[in-house]
Amino acid sequence: MIKQFLSLEWKQFKRASYFQKGLVIKIFLILGALYFGGIALFMGVGMFFIAKKAIPDVDPIITVNNFLIYWFLFELLIRYFMQQLPVMNVKPLMTIPIKRDTVIHYLLGKTTLSFFNFLSLFLFLPFSIVLLVKGYPVINVFCWFLSIIFVTLSINFLNFLVNKSNTVFYIAAPLLLGLIALEFYGIYAASEPIGFAFNTLYNLPYLAIIPVLLLVVLYQLNFKYIKKGFYLDDAVSKKIKEVEATDLSWFDRFGSIAPFLKNDIKLIWRNARPKQTMMMSFMFLFYGLIFYTQDMYREMPAILAFASMFVTGGFLMTFGQLVPSWDSEYYKMLMSQNIPYRQYLESKWYLMVVAVAISFILSTPYIFFGWDIFGMIAAGALFNIGLNSFITLFGGALNRMPVELNTKAKAFSNTNGFNPTQMLIALPKFLLPMGLFYIPYKIVNFETGILVLALSGVIGIVFKNFFLRKIENVYQDGKYKTIAAFSEKK
């Protein structure tokens, strides 16, 4: 029966109208998995020696155990935002003599094949092999490794349960940042008690039964949760959803584009996919911490310019790149109204501008790294408003992939709405700010590079009407192709 399920899914994928697009996406996903898998293997091999060099007086296995809690919290967050949970059309199977238990076991079994499960395997298997080569007890290392894998699979099924709730984000994200901050400033070493538990797990191999029991419990909870709603009446019954009304009258001050702005705010507030995207765009604010905290990047200012653009460009990069796909479900109706295309595009531009402005205000704490860094962030914000926003809108004219607003897939793992053309359009977003800063920086000095990057944004704002008019023409030329593409049912 499992073989039959696999055959049906392959036929569904191969015969779909979007087969070529899906094939390209899967090729990119495979290449990405190979890349990150290779990094994990490399880190797994070197983890023993890195731990030994960082804390020479402590056994590397103890050091790794002390910091495993951060790995698992980080994994939970990444899974919540990026893991694509398995989807299967079960309605036709409900009317034929196939056991529900078989279908549910198949669905849950598919989750174990997630790349995120293999990531832990790639990371901790080489580390375990190094431990064995160094003479550590075989039974202890083997049971410890199995415990890590069982905990990873437990997190996989835990994510399955909580993926429909934002509670996990509000708990895990502050907890992870808080624990790291307390550890960094020496206030409280949260790694010690957690590390003690994992060290005990290593020293007493028979305790590996605990992660196994945890995995069994979470699997059973998932099984019961799915089986509870696995009925034909539940699948076809009409779902009634209450919509919370919000007073958006203050948007009327924006004049003719106010209806579009209100519509976008409601779209983000009421639908799963755009809400997830907005939440993830907030994480871009912390992107600079990767670069500004490392002295090595001080000698690569072009990379700093790239990071500075990202700090304030989260919403623009995530939400903006899917304009007009966000409106795909009612795009035909929208285009049938007596509405100037210019107002539609201008409302999207203002939405991105406001998001960049809010991100810039929230980035104020970066002053701690120096006024030169904050000046670069300010220049990056102007670039995002004056040029990057128009590049993003232009890219939207070439994007004709619909987006399902309330899809259960995660914002970053969901390739619905993805177009390989977006990757080509993204190149100017990354390379242009680096070039605008680096060339004058190399010829004159650092301050001149910041000034040129900022002026490029100012020029874009001055010529806003020109850019919008050109982009409007591109949208108008492809209007009916876009309507046809959005109307195609998958």
Rounded mean pLDDT, 126-132: 90
Residue 231 above 70 pLDDT?
Answer: no
Rounded mean pLDDT, 214-228: 86
The confidence score (pLDDT) of residue 51 equals 84
With cut-offs at 50, 70 and 90, classify the pLDDT of residue 412: very low
- State both tokens at 235: 């699948």
Let me know: does 113 contact 31? Beta carbons within 8 Å. Answer: no
Rounded mean pLDDT, 111-117: 79
Average pLDDT in the chain: 77
More confidently predicted of 34 and 231: 34
**Residue that the structure tokens 């010529």 belong to:** 463
- Triad 345, 406, 248: Cα angle to 5°: 50
The confidence score (pLDDT) of residue 239 equals 46
Q: Which range is least confidently modeled, 88-92, 160-164, 267-271, 352-356?
A: 88-92
Let me know: does 120 contact 75? Beta carbons within 8 Å. Answer: yes
Q: Which range is least confidently modeled, 130-134, 276-280, 308-312?
A: 276-280
The confidence score (pLDDT) of residue 237 equals 41
The confidence score (pLDDT) of residue 26 equals 59
Let me know: does 164 contact 408? Beta carbons within 8 Å. Answer: yes
Residue 101 above 50 pLDDT?
Answer: yes
* pLDDT digits 0-9 by tens, 313-355: 888 888 888 888 888 778 888 778 777 778 888 888 888 888 8
3-state secondary structure labels for all residues of the chain: CHHHHHHHHHHHHHHCCCHHHHHHHHHHHHHHHHHHHHHHHHHHHHHHHHHHHHCCCCCHHHHHHHCHHHHHHHHHHHHHHHCCCCCCCCCHHHHCCCCHHHHHHHHHHHHCCCHHHHHHHHHHHHHHHHHHHCCCCHHHHHHHHHHHHHHHHHHHHHHHHHCCCCHHHHHHHHHHHHHHHHHHCCCCCCHHHHHHHHHHHHHCHHHHHHHHHHHHHHHHHHHHHHHHCCCHHHHHCCCCCCCCCCCCHHHHHHHHHHHHHHHHHHHHHHCHHHHHHHHHHHHHHHCHHHHHCCHHHHHCHHHHHHHHHHHHCHHHHHCHHHCCHHHHHHHHHHHCCCCCHHHHHHHHHHHHHHHHHHHHHHCHHHHHHCHHHHHHHHHHHHHHHHHHHHHHHHHHHCCCCCCCCCCCCCCCCCCCCCCHHHHHHHHHHHHHHHHHHHHHHHHCCHHHHHHHHHHHHHHHHHCHHHHHHHHHHHHHHCHHHHHHHHHCCC
Q: Which residues fall within 8 angstroms of residue 173, CB to CB, at 6 or more apart?
A: 77
* pLDDT digits 0-9 by tens, 135-192: 899 999 999 999 999 999 998 888 877 765 556 556 766 776 777 777 777 777 766 7
With cut-offs at 50, 70 and 90, classify the pLDDT of residue 306: confident
With cut-offs at 50, 70 and 90, classify the pLDDT of residue 18: very low
* pLDDT digits 0-9 by tens, 240-263: 445 455 556 666 666 777 777 788
The confidence score (pLDDT) of residue 303 equals 82
490 burial via Cβ count (<10 Å: 0-12, 13-18, 19+)? exposed
The confidence score (pLDDT) of residue 176 equals 67
The confidence score (pLDDT) of residue 142 equals 92
Rounded mean pLDDT, 126-137: 90
The confidence score (pLDDT) of residue 50 equals 85
The confidence score (pLDDT) of residue 411 equals 43
Q: Which range is least confidently modeled, 68-82, 129-143, 246-260, 441-455?
A: 246-260
147: closest CA among 210, 194, 192, 199? 210
Q: Which range is least confidently modeled, 67-71, 376-380, 450-454?
A: 67-71
Residue 126 above 80 pLDDT?
Answer: yes
Rounded mean pLDDT, 480-489: 75
Residue 459 above 70 pLDDT?
Answer: yes
- Rounded to whole angstroms, the Cα distance separating 290 from 307 reads 9
The confidence score (pLDDT) of residue 463 equals 92
136 φ, ψ (degrees, to nearest 5) = -75, 150
Rounded mean pLDDT, 116-142: 88
396 φ, ψ (degrees, to nearest 5) = -60, -30
The confidence score (pLDDT) of residue 409 equals 45
To the nearest 10 degrees (0 to 180), the angle between helices 258-270 and 341-362 is 60
> In degrees to the nearest 10, what's the CA dihedral of 81, 82, 83, 86?
100
The confidence score (pLDDT) of residue 17 equals 45
Rounded mean pLDDT, 288-314: 80
